[in-house]
Structure 1
Amino acid sequence: MKQWGFGIIGCGSIASFHRTAIQSIGNARLIGVASRSDARAKAFALESGHCECWSDYRQLLEHPGIDMVCVTTESGSHFEIGLQVLLAGKHAIIEKPLAMKAAEARQLTELAANRGLSLSVISQRRFEPQVAVVKQAVDDGKLGRLLYIEAGTPYYRTQEYYDHSEWRGTLAMDGGALMNQGIHQIDLMLWIAGPASSVYGQVATLSHRMEAEDTGTAIVKFVSGALGTIMASTVMKPGFPPFLHLYGEKGSVKLQGSSIVQWSVEGEPEPYFESSSASDGSSNPLQISPMYHKMQFEALLQTLDRGMDPPVSGGEGALAVELIEAIYTSSASGREITLLSTY
Structure 2
Amino acid sequence: MKRWRFGIIGCGGIADFHIKAIHEIEHAKLIAVSSRSSGRAAAVGEREGCAWTEDYKELLAREDIDIVSVTTSSGSHYAVGRDVLLAGKHLVIEKPMAMNDAEAAELTAIAEAGGLLLSVISQRRFEPQHQLLKQLVEQDALGSLLFAEVSVPYYRTQDYYDSAAWRGTIREDGGSLMNQGIHSIDLLLWLIGRPVSVYGKIATQTHQMEAEDLGVAIVNFDNGAFGTIMASTSIKPGFPAGLNLYGDKGTIKILGTDITYWSVEGLEEPTLQQTGTSGGVSDPLSIQHTCHRLQIDDILDALEKNREPLVTGKDGYTSLLLVRKIYESSKLGMELWLD
Partner of 1:4: 4
Task: Give the match for residue 22 of structure 2.
Answer: 22
Are the aligned partners of 1:7 and 1:69 in contact in 2 as well (CA < 8 Å)? yes
**In structure 2, the residue corresponding to 1:14 is in which secondary structure?**
helix
Deviation at 1:172?
0.6
Q: Residue 285 of structure 1 corresponds to which residue in structure 2?
A: 284
- Larger mean Cα displacement after TM superposition, 274-283 or 135-144: 274-283
The corresponding residue for 1:250 is 249
8 Å CA contact retained: 1:7, 1:70: yes
Instruction: Say if 2:132 is the partner of 1:133.
Output: yes
C-alpha contact 2:219 2:227 (8 A) present in aligned 1: yes
DSSP-derived class of the 1:272 partner: coil
Distance 2:188 2:103 in 1: 22
Are the equivalent residues in 2 in contact too, given 1:77–1:173 (CA < 8 A)? yes
Gaps of 5+ in 2: none
**AA aligned opposite 2:36:** R
Structure 1 residue 280, shift from structure 2 partner: 1.7
For 1:119, the equivalent position in structure 2 comes to: 118
The aligned counterpart of 1:36 is 36
Asked if the contact 2:277–2:289 (Cα under 8 Å) also holds between the matched residues in 1, the reply is no
- Counterparts of 1:164 and 1:9, CA distance in 2: 21
> Is 2:45 the counterpart of 1:45?
yes
Contact 2:127-2:277 at 8 Å conserved across structures: no
> What does residue 333 of structure 2 align with?
334
Question: Are the equivalent residues in 2 in contact too, given 1:258–1:280 (CA < 8 A)?
Answer: no
Identity, in percent, stands at 54
4+ runs deviating over 4 angstroms: 274-279
Q: For residue 197 of structure 2, give the secondary structure of its aligned residue in structure 1.
A: strand
Match of 1:172 in 2: 171
Equivalent positions of 1:88-127 (< 5 A) are 88-127=87-126
Is the CA contact 1:170–1:176 (under 8 Å) kept in the aligned structure 2?
Answer: yes
Give the match for residue 236 of structure 2: 237
Q: Aligned partners of 1:257, 1:110: CA distance in 2, in Å?
A: 34
Amino acid paired to 2:5: G
Change (3 A) 1:296 1:245: same
Q: Give the letter aligned to residue 208 of structure 2.
A: R
Distance in 1, Cα, partners of 2:331 & 2:277: 37
Look up the SS of the partner of 2:62 in the other structure. coil
Aligned residues: 339
Matched AA of 1:5: R
CA RMSD in angstroms, aligned pairs only = 0.9
Secondary structure in structure 2 of the residue aligned to 1:286: coil
Matches within 5 A, 1:82-93: 82-93=81-92
In 2: Cα distance, 1:74 partner to 1:224 partner: 36
Q: CA deviation at 1:273?
A: 2.0
Instruction: Tell me which amino acid in the other structure corresponds to 2:44.
Output: F
Residue of structure 1 equivalent to 2:304: 305
Matches within 5 A, 1:203-214: 203-214=202-213
2:223 aligns to what? 224
Kept after mapping to 2: 8 A contact 1:204/1:213: yes
CA displacement 1:290-333 (0-9 Å, x = unmatched)? 00000101111011100101121000000000000000000111
Q: Which whole-Å CA distance do the structure 1 matches of 2:27 and 2:158 have between them?
A: 41
Note the alpha carbon deviations across 1:28-77, whole angstroms, 9 max, x for none: 1100011111111101111212x111111100000000000000001111
Q: CA deviation at 1:281?
A: 1.1
Paired with 2:211 and 2:137, the residues of 1 have a C-alpha distance of 34
